[in-house]
Amino acid sequence: MTSIIPKNDRQQALRLRRFFIGAASYAMWLILIMYCHYLGFSRLSYGWTLVAFGFVIGINILLYILFRTGLNKKFTDPSLTFPQMAIAALAAMVAVYFTDNIRGVMLIAYIVTMLFGIFRFNLVQYILFTIFSVMCYGTVILLLLNNHPNTITLRVEILQLVVFATILTWFSMVGNYIRQIRKKLSATNYRLNNALNTIQELASHDDLTRAYNRRQMYEELNREKAKADRTGGCFSIALFDLDHFKKINDTYGHLKGDDVLKHLIHTISHEIREIDSISRYGGEEFIIIMSGTDAKGAEECAGRIKNTIENLKFPGFPESFCITISTGITTYCPVESIDELIARSDVAMYKAKSMGRNQVVTEMTV
């Protein structure tokens, strides 16, 4: 079922919420105009009043269709702020034209219209809208002088026009000031969110390789352990170490050694699933956590990674340069501790090294 407001497009959902705020304002003023008509303050007949209402409702339905179909995105301003405000302004001026004795009171509708511009308008746009509104009111005065001169006092109307223009100009400056504050707050929030994301990244990831750090590794392992204990499922870990890594540092320098680690972990991270994770256990030792994976599946994954690393080329190193890894695999047994699990994988890894390195060894409980 299609929702009234899209859930997969945050910006479009925000525009539609603003549109509904505007639509609610129309509904409020339509009720007030009907009340004015009931009290006898409007010269517009019931028939024409209903036609005007139908026109306003039709325009709002059209605007909703533009938003809901995404056609609004083809415009420079996808929010369609100026068209919506212009329609509201014209509707207000129609009400002003047909309500003689309370014409000044009906101009209050413009405050609601101007508030809507705070979401999008800058000072220039506000001033343009103010000029548009003053011209509309001036047109109303001219039409009244021509068609209903007995309902208008020119001096009073000119005074109202001057006051109207002054208030809208003042509101334009205040509205623009509020918009600037909102803009600065948004920028500040954006920077704070970025800073928070950076802090969270630093708190959970290794600075060099961008793999999870030791603290985050234990959080991931405890999460997998809790899930396995609760559901009776399983998970496996693969502890691997770079063979003869000290020789790489001694030959090429520690900076080049760092490049090897970064390129290696970047490659391995693309060899595992999104639900799996890789963490730096210490130095050149890393642990891969394989969620919902038994020993056989872990062996297949580790074997694939081993073969990939054997043939991996490293930028900035001789063509003949290559590295290998020794890997120890184990699968979680219910109720055992995380330290016991890691210790078993450590035993398996050292068995792989004692067998000549570049091996994958699985160690299971008896």
Active site residues per annotation: 284
Helices H / strands E in the chain, number of each: 12, 5
Angle subtended at Cα 313 by Cα 312 and Cα 315, rounded to the nearest 5 degrees: 140
Q: Strand 360-362: give its sheet, edge to edge.
A: 277-282, 285-291, 235-242, 325-331, 360-362
Helix (H) or strand (E) holding 24: helix 10-39
- Which of 76, 107, 108 shows the shortest CA–CA distance to 93? 107
Indicate the SS3 state at residue 290.
Answer: strand
Helix (H) or strand (E) holding 237: strand 235-242
CB half-sphere exposure, 200, CA atoms < 13 A: 6
The strand pair at 285-291 and 235-242 is best described as antiparallel
Nearest to 118 by CA among 171, 185, 64: 171
Of 146, 137, 149, which is closest to residue 95 (Cα–Cα)?
Answer: 137
Q: Give the whole-angstrom CA distance, residue 121 versus residue 114.
A: 10
Give the Cα separation of 323 and 241 in Å (integer).
11
Listed in sequence order, the residues at least 6 apart from 35 whose beta carbon sits closer than 8 Å to its beta carbon are: none
Q: Judge contact between 306 and 360, C-beta under 8 A.
A: yes
By CB neighbour count within 10 A (0-12 exposed, 13-18 middle, 19+ buried), where does 65 fall?
exposed
How far, in Å, CA of 172 to CA of 134, rounded? 13
- Which residues have CB under 8 Å from 251's CB, separation 6+? none
